[in-house]
Structure 1
Amino acid sequence: MQQTPVAISQLNIGEALPPEKSTIIIDALLGSGLNKPLDGDYKRLVEHLNSLDRTVVAMDVPTGFFADGEIPKNATVLKSDLVITFQQAKINFLLPEAAGFIKCWHAVNISISENFTRSLNSIYQYVEEKDIRRILKPRGQFSNKGTYGHSLIIAGEVKTMGAALLCAAGSAYTGAGLTTACIPSSGLIALNSYMPEVMALTRDGDALPQINWDKYDSVAIGPGLGTDDNAFELLADLFTNFNKPVVIDADGLNLLAHRHKLWQNLPEGSIL
């Protein structure tokens, strides 16, 4: 550093903090190995820098931030406008507790072997666009909507049709050749207006719809469905008559949580 034209100021322990005239602060003080909250002069310096109206760019991890493990309450962290982190995001960057300290982060490749990273024993997987591209199957030149399966979405109530519409859209946009939405009859106009390409199977009041389960290759159930007896009967009917994996979300999970007898018929390979 002494051989560069950059001015160097040395801060001694207990010394008064000098006035800071820079408009951008580059934080390269402490890294990802921090395992205890800041104290002493480190804490005093970070509190001083946080009091300034400056743009902060942090290297790898903001000073005072825990890269993993529990983020301490009332932690003293140098609040960063941008974090340039090495190789990949730290797990705690993805937690809501990080929002108060990190506005934006960007991971830069420092040539750590991807095979080495994948060999590490971790319960976490960070999924990126390139990972999705690896599993996407190319569409055949002469294929059609009947080639790519038929999904059934069981969702929505009178006041929660939005959940059903979003779920049906997710099915169509992610590649199902055909999508049918099992919705309350009052939501038919909304479905036809929002996604006319999605077919409808309507539910009327307390009467269970007659569903030909053999028509469908996949079923998702739960978003906005409610947890009343009708919803329970739908879920029980599904588990009894559909022997392929099911996607269960939202109110479907709430039903499972409170109706334990449903678990014994849960189709193998289902996604909760």
Structure 2
Amino acid sequence: MKLLSKEQVYEGDRLTTERQGILSSDLMERAGIQIFNWIHDRMQGAQVPIHIFCGIGNNGGDGLVIARHLITHGYEVNTYIVNYSEKRSKDFLVNYDRIKGVTKEWPIVLNEEFTKPEIAPQDIIIDAVFGIGINRPPADWVLDLFRHLESTKAFTLSVDIPSGLYTDRALEDASHAIRANYTLSFQTPKLVFFLKDTYSYTVQWEVLDIGIDRQYLGNVETKDELIGKNEVVVKYQPRDKYAHKGDYGHALMIGGSYGKMGAITLASRASLQAGAGLVTSYIPQCGYNILQNSLPEAMVETDPHTNRITEIKSSINFDVVGIGMGMGTHAETVGALRTFLEQNKAPMVMDADAVNMLSKNQSMIDLVPKNSILTPHRGELRRLIGEWSDDFEMLERVTQFSNKYSLIVVIKGAHTITVFEDKRYINTTGNPGMATAGSGDVLSGVITGLMGQNYSAIDAAIMGVYLHGKSGDLAVEKTGYQSLIAGDLIYHLGASFLSLFEQDVPPPPEEES
């Protein structure tokens, strides 16, 4: 799913009204009715006080549409106008006039000297104060209103985006935005729903289709794309009946050190489980028996050193390299990596200590083959590109790094983000149970295994991240968050692949009593 920038949202609105021959107020009516329907389907006329706070722009106009339809359907509605400016949008004024036709209780206007509305914890708040167009912090008195609304503990539903959040930059202060329990976003979700600094402003979100022009949505090029099942299944490469193991690549997995052989074992197993035809693990001598006993499907080559890797001289013809898992950063290991990079031409997946060694020896980054993949978590990323002030700066700096070196960067996190060629692919699978030792090693193995099967580097990264997260989602249904371990992710990879082809069947309708 494409994530539209606010400029692209405005353009989509404009083209929709033009091509469908409707007024902008008609599009606003359509959006407001969608939210009303969502609420009405769930409340079914229940008499819970609903407090709708409307700004004086188009987001406020959406709120007035919602209020009007709730009123005409018999709900107990209190409508407020947050009068933060003398300017009003045209469509706000249209709907301000319309609401007067359905109730004698006109909206309550809140100004700088407002009286705090009485709202009980069991009431519902609908936040329609600011939309995506906000470009500066709200006035102090509006922030006081926000704090009051939060203090009520009432369920808060935001229209399109929690008021105060920007779509394209960080907040000046954490208190400058509404914290919503649920956000109903028009047509596409917003990037800020998936960033570490801003995800907490909406506990849950859902997209409502308001009929934006399909041709525009199909053709528009976006910087950000949300990756779900539909985006991944089209990348899947079916296997030929007469294929053999040589058709699916030979992955060389390099890593391990004394006491850290688990990491390279997990990565090697994940590479095989992801479909690599052959896997050879290049490890220090201390891990030989461990690998041979725990992973009989893999071949093993050993470094001259007992406890760490000091040179990388493999006798095999490999197609892809996964490197860094449990490898350590000893000076001899750094030298081995540099020499290997000077000689190697195969694409690479570089994780953990391989990334750390690049961070400390940045001249080696130029030696990494183009279109290779780096898979840092945030701590490793800071060492690689330096500190950032907020998530938007982080993404910009990673984009610059990716373009400079022609490398793919997979930023591991709750919503892992893959960055390449000015594009950002935001993953939707995964869960907190995956915050466990070895989870990243499994991811590196999965991506390496996919690359060995002739998936392009970017497809291997996107698909690998999705399947890895989906494996976690399938596993956690059996283990719970606390008991999930990295081996569970590997065990569920097969089911993760199969889930790509399962039909999403909606639950049967509830029988009327």
Give the structure-2-normalised TM-score: 0.47
SS at match of 1:75: helix
Question: How many pairs were matched up?
Answer: 271
Name the CA shift for 1:268/1:3 in 2 (closer, same or farther; >3 Å): closer
**RMSD over aligned Cα atoms:** 2.9
2:342 aligns with one of 216, 240, 248: 240
CA distance in 1, matches of 2:208, 2:132: 15
- Provide the residue aligned with 1:141 in structure 2: 241
Name the CA shift for 1:165/1:101 in 2 (closer, same or farther; >3 Å): farther
Does residue 158 of the first structure (1) align with residue 258 of the second (2)? yes
Which stretch of structure 1 is more off in the superposition, 129-138 or 102-111?
A: 102-111
SS at match of 1:81: strand
- Provide the residue aligned with 1:94 in structure 2: 194
8 Å Cα contact 2:192-2:199 kept in structure 1:
no
For structure 2, the 5+ residue unaligned runs are 1-67, 79-106, 375-513
2:311 aligns with one of 208, 223, 234: 208
Q: Which amino acid aligns with 2:337?
A: L
Identity value in percent: 27
- Provide the residue aligned with 2:74 in structure 1: 5
Does residue 43 of the first structure (1) align with residue 176 of the second (2)? no
SS at match of 1:70: coil
For structure 1, the 5+ residue unaligned runs are none
Name the CA shift for 1:135/1:232 in 2 (closer, same or farther; >3 Å): same
SS at match of 1:179: strand
Which stretch of structure 1 is more off in the superposition, 72-81 or 199-208?
A: 199-208
The alpha carbon displacement at 1:47 in A equals: 0.9
Which stretch of structure 1 is more off in the superposition, 75-84 or 257-266?
A: 257-266
8 Å Cα contact 2:286-2:307 kept in structure 1:
no
1:223-234 aligned at under 5 Å gives the runs 223-234=325-336
- Provide the residue aligned with 2:115 in structure 1: 16
CA distance in 1, matches of 2:208, 2:282: 45
SS at match of 1:104: strand
SS at match of 1:236: helix
CA distance in 2, matches of 1:65, 1:102: 10
CA distance in 2, matches of 1:198, 1:113: 52
- Provide the residue aligned with 1:268 in structure 2: 370
The alpha carbon displacement at 1:189 in A equals: 5.6
8 Å Cα contact 1:37-1:75 kept in structure 2:
no
8 Å Cα contact 1:64-1:75 kept in structure 2:
no
CA distance in 2, matches of 1:225, 1:95: 30
- Provide the residue aligned with 2:128 in structure 1: 28
The alpha carbon displacement at 1:94 in A equals: 1.5
SS at match of 2:118: coil
CA distance in 2, matches of 1:89, 1:125: 10
Which stretch of structure 1 is more off in the superposition, 192-201 or 138-147?
A: 192-201
SS at match of 2:267: helix
SS at match of 1:220: strand
CA displacement 1:104-162 (0-9 Å, x = unmatched): 22334444456634654544343333222222111222334332111111123224344
CA distance in 2, matches of 1:180, 1:170: 12
The alpha carbon displacement at 1:177 in A equals: 1.9
Name the CA shift for 1:113/1:229 in 2 (closer, same or farther; >3 Å): farther
CA distance in 1, matches of 2:350, 2:313: 20
Name the CA shift for 1:110/1:150 in 2 (closer, same or farther; >3 Å): farther
CA distance in 2, matches of 1:166, 1:41: 55
- Provide the residue aligned with 1:197 in structure 2: 297
1:99-178 aligned at under 5 Å gives the runs 99-112=199-212, 116-117=216-217, 119-120=219-220, 122-178=222-278
